[in-house]
Amino acid sequence: MPGVSGSPGSPVIWLHSHFLLPTGGTKYIYEVVRRLAKRRPVEVVVERASDLWRERYASAGIPLHEIATATSTSKAYWLSFPRYLRSDRRAIESLVDRVGPSALVSSFFPMNCLAGQIAWPRGLRHVHLCFEPFPFFHDREVTALYPATSRALMRGLGLLYGRLDRKGVADADALLTLNKVMAASIEQVYGRADAVPIYAGVDLDFFRPYSDDELADLRTRHGSGPFTIHSTDFSPIKRTDLALEAFAAAGVENARLLITSTIDDAGGLTAMRAHAEQLGIGDRVDYLGFVSYKDLPRYYALADVLLQTGTSLNSGATSMSLPVKEALACGTAVIRSHATDEDVEDGISGYLVDPADTRATGARLAELLRDPPRAAAFGRAGHTRVAALYRWDKVVDAVSAAIDA
């Protein structure tokens, strides 16, 4: 039985794996869902959520259902994956039969395969938002960056469950993705050429340029600069090691590197500090930890350059990157991977580089840190482009159209 569409006022149930991280795909879904909920009823299902997201969804009046005790972030989950899959399916089926939605939206493995299994016999439409081909199964560049034991586990999981992921994507009634780069990756991995890029949005009332007076306290705290800012979650995908090496290669006197982190990872922080010391820049790196949401745009605006150094061409974290767009919205120049030119225009709002070439990346960084007026002009150009192209309402329009098709 093919999936069928419902009326625009029918409920939608959105399925995602977990809401444990404060940024990335978790933030993307929140920005979309809270706007979608103003148009139609939405309920959200995850295996687990953090207090941050419980509070935000409660404040938005959106039901958030947690259905498991573990998630894909733990090895215990994967060692008992068939049991969790059965338990998740029962919980979602119970909710679906109680709520009576017209559509299911999924946005990460294993929710894509569960949504298909549940939607099909009930005549419900299944829309899958594929951020990227599931990296632990399909992205060899990413998995190669992990320790040998983790690589072996990922290879085994891919052999055991990669088929479920491919079927979950293949069977969706509508397929959405982040941009054209991911659409090409989806075609290569899953064999579907109809993934619709819906891009991302930026809240321009929040992420905006700030005046010198509004940043005075940060300059008192960190000095006069120039500043480079980098965002990490300590995972190999972010390649923070390359950011440190590029900053060292830039060799700009008095420059400081500000590193924000979205999770607490004592081991990762220790390794990062050690690497900075080896590079001779330990005294010029400020480790900010998790920056509060209200201060994040001020730090972007304080910086002369945002440096993002992810290298995986198949990773949404590389090609989409909300920090890149948010920094541009704050009037900050950006140096990022040449995986895409959807946000940064090379030589206009920043530079597109091969982050693995840290000498060349460092040279580009030095150009902007040594020429603040040029960096500021790049930032103004980036703000103009983001303001014209990246609106969350456009993303919600595309999601709504896929649900109601």
221 has pLDDT over 80? yes
CATH architecture of the region 213-389: 3-Layer(aba) Sandwich (3.40)
The pLDDT confidence band at residue 9, using thresholds 50, 70 and 90, is low
Strands lying side by side in the sheet with 285-289: 285-289, 256-261, 227-232, 305-307, 333-337, 350-353
Peptide linkage before 110 cis (omega within 30 of 0): yes
- SS3 state at 81: helix
Between CA 202 and CA 296, with CA 400 as vertex, the angle to 5 degrees is: 15
| Per-residue model confidence as pLDDT tens digits over 15-37 | 999 999 888 899 999 999 999 99
How many whole angstroms separate alpha carbon 365 and alpha carbon 246? 8
**Residue carrying structure tokens 């060292």:** 248
* Model confidence band, residue 333 (pLDDT cutoffs 50, 70, 90): very high
* Mean pLDDT of the 136-140 span: 83
What separation in angstroms does the CA of 113 have from each of 120, 368, 373? 11, 46, 51
Render pLDDT for 70-127 as a digit per residue (tens, 0 to 9). Answer: 999 898 999 999 999 999 999 999 999 999 999 999 999 999 999 999 999 999 999 9
Contact between residue 175 and residue 193 where contact means Cβ atoms under 8 Å apart: no
Rounded to whole angstroms, how far apart are CA atoms 168 and 315? 19
Chain length of the chain: 405
- Average pLDDT over every residue of 12-16: 98
**Pairing label, strands 174-177, 196-197:** parallel
pLDDT exceeds cutoff 80 at 207: yes
pLDDT digits (tens, 9 = 90+) for 182-206: 999 999 999 999 999 999 999 999 9
pLDDT at 312 over 80: no
Is pLDDT larger for residue 61 or for residue 3?
Answer: 61
CA–centroid distance for 358 within its chain: 23
- Which range, of 128-132, 316-320, 350-354, 391-395, averages the lowest pLDDT? 316-320
Question: pLDDT at position 227, please?
Answer: 98
Under 8 Å between Cβ of 49 and 36: no
Provide the CATH topology of domain 12-201+392-404. Rossmann fold (3.40.50)
Report the pLDDT value the prediction gives residue 144, as an integer from 0 to 100.
81
213-389: same fold as 12-201+392-404?
A: yes
Give mean pLDDT, residues 329-352.
Answer: 95
What pTM was estimated for this model as a whole?
0.88
Average pLDDT, the chain: 93
Residue whose pair of structure tokens reads 């005294």 in the numeric block: 283
pLDDT band at 208 (very low <50, low <70, confident <90, very high): very high
Of the pLDDT bands very low, low, confident and very high (cuts 50, 70, 90), residue 7 is very low
Name beta bridge partners: 351: 335
- pLDDT band of residue 151 (cuts 50, 70, 90) is confident
Provide the β-strand partners of residue 285. Answer: 257
pLDDT band at 6 (very low <50, low <70, confident <90, very high): very low
Is the pLDDT at 371 greater than 80, yes or no? yes
User: What are the residue boundaries of the structural domains of the chain, listed by start?
Assistant: 12-201+392-404, 213-389
360's tokens: 């060349």
pLDDT at 316: 64
Q: How far apart are CA 153 and CA 94, in angstroms?
A: 32
Task: Give the whole-number percent of the chain exceeding pLDDT 90.
Answer: 81
pLDDT at 246: 98
